[in-house]
Each structure stands twice: as C-alpha cells, then as structure tokens.
C-alpha cells in the first residue's frame, strides 16, 4: 500500500508539473511577438518618438533587426520634433547602415522635423502623411540672461575661466558680440553638415538644398512637392509598400521587445529619466536639430 501511494503521488505531481509547463509554454507563445506560428518572415517597426536626446535604444533596436534574418525589411516610424545634434546624426548613420542589409522605409507621424527629418533622410524611401509637420532644416541654440534677477536678489557670481570664451553664453554675463560670433560659426558649421547630408540623400545640389534649409516647416504634401519625401501615406501604407518590395503577402509586423523591469524598477527608471531630462533642460548651451514651434 505504501509503495502504491508513493507511485500515485509521483503520478499526480508529475501530471501537475507537466500541465504547468504546458500552460507556461502557451503563455509564452501567446504573448511573444511571434505568436504560435514561429518567427517566419516579418516586417520590423522601430519607433523614434519624442525629443531626441539619446540614440542608444533606437540604435540597439535597428541593430537587432539588422541581425534578425526573419525580419525582411524595416519601417522606422518617426514622430519627433528633433533634438540634440549628435544623437540625430548617430541614428541617421544607423539607418543608412541598416539599408545596406535590407530595405528601410521611414514613416512620418504627426511631426518629423529638424533632427526627425535628418533621421528620415537615411532611409531608402520616406512616407509622410499629407498633414505631417516636417522640414525645419536648421540649427538652433538659445541662451538666457539672468543678470537682472541676480542683482535683484543681491547675489554675486564670481567666475574664474581659463580663457576669454570659456564662459561664453553664461547667463550671468552679457552676451557679447564676440561670444555671438563664436556660437554663430559653430551653428553654421553644424547647419552645413545637415544641408550636405540632405543634399546627398535627396539627390540635390548644395545650393538647392540650402534654399529650403532656412528652418521653415512644411506639410507632408508640401514636402512631397519639393522631393523631400517620396510617398504620401500612413504607417500601414509604408508597411504594405515594404511587403510588396520583399515579396511578402500580409506579413506579420514585429516591434522590438520592451524592457521589463518590474514596477519598482520602472518607477526608478521614470524618476531617473525625469531628473536627467530636467537637468538637460537647464544645461546650456545646447545646439539642436529641433523644431521649436507648437506640436
């Protein structure tokens, strides 16, 4: 009897364990991007959303899809007014690298201006909605002067600098003409880089690109008429265009997996990012590929 009871317990717990494993497998299959059918051939979508202050995550996602043979082509969905110069240039370079391995299309959302447009230039084909806000090909940096406020609260600021221009742009001193000359030369050089890349990617001469690179914004339809975008259409139109390009019929669409940190980790991440963003907002000077208008 004892032996039979032990066997019965083993069978019961073995069955429960097997059932649990099957249940976990079903959940994993149901909630994974590949579903139940395995990877197959897919279209990848990488999102560039919000102000561009860092490129790391976007580049990681582009690289992930570059290495994934089941992802036959990639849509880069841009919904951004632009942002810092270097991250915009880094993502642009990553998009150009990716298109050497598989077709890449950019789909513009509500706004894809300045640094957002810079990124779009790296793709094979650019889609914009007719009402998308785009363009704003230009560079901006801003400085604040709080001398009056400092005097009002009777606060003294003592600066020791290693050179005449080390504190150029400081909010505690007047913005002198020689300071402006230094920053204007820098802005013009960064702007020239933008114009050169637009001209190269869009098949324009430098002079032609310079004429429209005065910071003005365009609707998607205006940009289309000026050859700044290739097609008018939505994200779905871009996906269908790519599917046709690689010979797929109604392929599944996959997004990069999101990091799962748990609720404590997520709260910590939000707190850190909020603090970092606030610090970046207060730092000066900043040179931006960014549309500063309403959005």
172: Cα within 13 Å, side-chain hemisphere: 10
Determine whether 114 is an active site residue. Answer: yes
CB 73 within 8 A of CB 102: yes
3-class state of residue 134 by DSSP: strand
Sequence-ordered list of residues with C-beta below 8 angstroms from that of 56, at least 6 positions apart, any chain: none
Determine whether 136 is an active site residue. Answer: no
Nearest to 213 by CA among 228, 229, 203: 228
Residue 193, both tokens: 């880089």
CA distance 216 to 99: 29
Angle, alpha carbons 139-117-234 (nearest 5°): 155
Report residue 110: phi and psi, to 5°.
-60, -45
CA distance 232 to 203: 19
User: Using omega within 30 degrees of 0 as the cis cutoff, is the peptide bond preceding 285 cis?
Assistant: yes
Q: Which one from 107, 114, 136, 170 is the annotated catalytic residue?
A: 114
Would you name the residues annotated as active-site residues? 114, 166
């Amino acid at each position: 009897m004892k032996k039979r009871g032990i066997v019965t317990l083993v069978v019961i717990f073995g069955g429960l364990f097997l059932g649990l494993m099957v249940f976990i497998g079903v959940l994993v299959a149901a909630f994974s991007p590949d579903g139940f059918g395995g990877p197959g051939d897919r279209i990848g979508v990488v999102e560039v959303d919000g102000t561009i202050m860092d490129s790391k995550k976007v580049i990681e996602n582009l690289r992930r899809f570059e290495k994934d043979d089941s992802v036959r082509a990639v849509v880069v969905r841009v919904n951004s007014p632009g942002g810092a110069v270097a991250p915009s240039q880094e993502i642009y370079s990553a998009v150009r690298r990716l298109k050497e391995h598989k077709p890449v299309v950019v789909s513009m959302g509500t706004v894809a201006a300045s640094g957002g447009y810079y990124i779009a230039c790296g793709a094979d084909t650019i889609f914009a909605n007719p009402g998308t806000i785009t363009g704003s090909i230009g560079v901006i940096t801003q400085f604040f002067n709080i001398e009056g406020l400092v005097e009002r609260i009777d606060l003294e600021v003592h600066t020791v600098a290693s050179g005449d221009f080390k504190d150029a742009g400081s909010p505690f001193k007047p913005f002198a003409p020689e300071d402006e000359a230094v920053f204007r030369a820098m802005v013009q050089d960064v702007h020239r880089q933008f114009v050169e890349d637009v001209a190269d990617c869009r098949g324009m001469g430098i002079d032609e690109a310079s004429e429209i690179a005065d910071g003005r914004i365009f609707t998607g339809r205006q940009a289309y008429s000026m050859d700044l975008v290739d097609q008018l259409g939505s994200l779905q139109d871009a996906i269908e265009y790519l599917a046709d390009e690689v010979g797929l019929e109604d392929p599944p669409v996959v997004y990069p997996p999101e990091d799962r940190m748990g609720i404590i980790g997520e709260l910590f991440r939000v707190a850190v990012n909020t603090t970092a963003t606030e610090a970046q907002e207060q730092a000066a000077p900043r040179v931006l590929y960014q549309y500063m208008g309403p959005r």
